[in-house]
């Protein structure tokens, strides 16, 4: 039972470099999310995709882009990494329509350091 | 927009004792869900307990229980018979019912259980 799989688990980038964080889920969920976690800040929503073909900005979208490649995959791209983007990134998924029993499932996280 | 507040950045408890973590939230929604997630040092986000707002009865899961006060918008987590493995960051989260929704997190409470 893979659930939500994120790659890579760790990454170090130089300022200005670009990279894509990959996320895939095998639970047939419609909704997928990208969060970042910083000390003392909890998890903050970067972008989300309510269904295949749609994406929406969350609380902290600046400096990021996303692609919902298909129902399974939702990638997060940093075009020009900055030290302020040093963080732990989590991908999550859930059913599209929120009802009894709905919960979000999370990947293992990616620790990204921008130097 | 919803906000979730955890006023205790850190707490400590001795093994076998009981501890209560606080959470308050602000919303204009009437139907919603509240969650407590646990994040151990492994970084994995683990669902501890869930409460549906329309249910009067407080949710319980083994040693974990909540005190849900809808009018006061309060959702505290009680951990009984604390174990060393309970050492983790605990996040309170809110999700509205119906339609497309995202999880809104508090900033977290770091719980340390000592022998």
Name the nearest CA neighbour of A61 among A29, A34, A22.
A34
Within 10 angstroms of residue A13's Cβ, the number of other Cβ atoms is 19
Q: Which residue has the higher pLDDT, A42 or A1?
A: A42
| pLDDT value, residue B56 | 84
Using a CB-CB cut-off of 8 Å, the residues of chain A touching B98 are 97-99
In this structure, what DSSP letter does residue A62 have?
Answer: T
Count how many Cα atoms sit within 13 Å of the Cα of residue B52 in the half-sphere of its side chain: 10
Domains of chain B by start residue, with CATH: 3-114 (2.60.40.10)
CB within 8 Å: B91 and A43: yes
Residues 6+ apart with CB under 8 A from A85: A63, A78, A112, A114
User: Hey, is B76 helix, strand or coil?
Assistant: strand
For the stretch A27-84, pLDDT in tens is 999 899 999 999 989 999 999 998 888 999 999 999 999 999 899 999 999 999 999 9
Residue with tokens 């909704």: A31
For the stretch B60-114, pLDDT in tens is 999 999 999 999 999 999 999 999 999 999 999 999 887 678 889 999 999 999 9
- Using alpha carbons only, give the angle A84, A90, A94 rounded to the nearest 5 degrees: 140
CB within 8 Å: B100 and A108: no
Q: How far from B101 is each of A40, A49, B9, CA to CA, in Å?
A: 24, 10, 27
| Out of B45, B100, B106, closest to residue A106 by CB | B45
């Amino acid at each position: 039972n893979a659930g939500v799989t994120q790659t890579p688990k760790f990454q170090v980038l130089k300022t200005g470099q670009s990279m894509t964080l990959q996320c895939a889920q095998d639970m047939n969920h419609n909704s997928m999310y990208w969060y970042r976690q910083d000390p003392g800040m909890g998890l903050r929503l970067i972008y989300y995709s309510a269904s295949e073909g749609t994406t929406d900005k969350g609380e902290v979208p600046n400096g990021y882009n996303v692609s919902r490649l298909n129902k399974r995959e939702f990638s997060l791209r940093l075009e020009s990494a900055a030290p302020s983007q040093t963080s732990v990134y989590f991908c999550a998924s859930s059913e599209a329509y929120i009802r009894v029993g709905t919960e979000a499932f999370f990947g293992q996280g990616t620790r990204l350091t921008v130097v | 927009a919803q906000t979730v507040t955890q006023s205790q950045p850190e707490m400590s408890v001795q093994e076998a004792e009981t501890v209560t973590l606080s959470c308050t939230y602000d919303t204009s929604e009437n139907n919603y869900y509240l969650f407590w997630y646990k994040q151990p040092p492994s970084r994995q986000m683990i669902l501890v307990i869930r409460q549906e707002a329309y249910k009067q009865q407080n949710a319980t899961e083994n040693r974990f229980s909540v005190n849900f006060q809808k009018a006061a918008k309060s959702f505290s987590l009680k951990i009984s018979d604390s174990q060393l493995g309970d050492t983790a960051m605990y996040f309170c989260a809110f999700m509205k019912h119906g339609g497309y929704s995202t999880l809104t997190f508090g900033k977290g409470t770091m719980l340390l259980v000592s022998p």
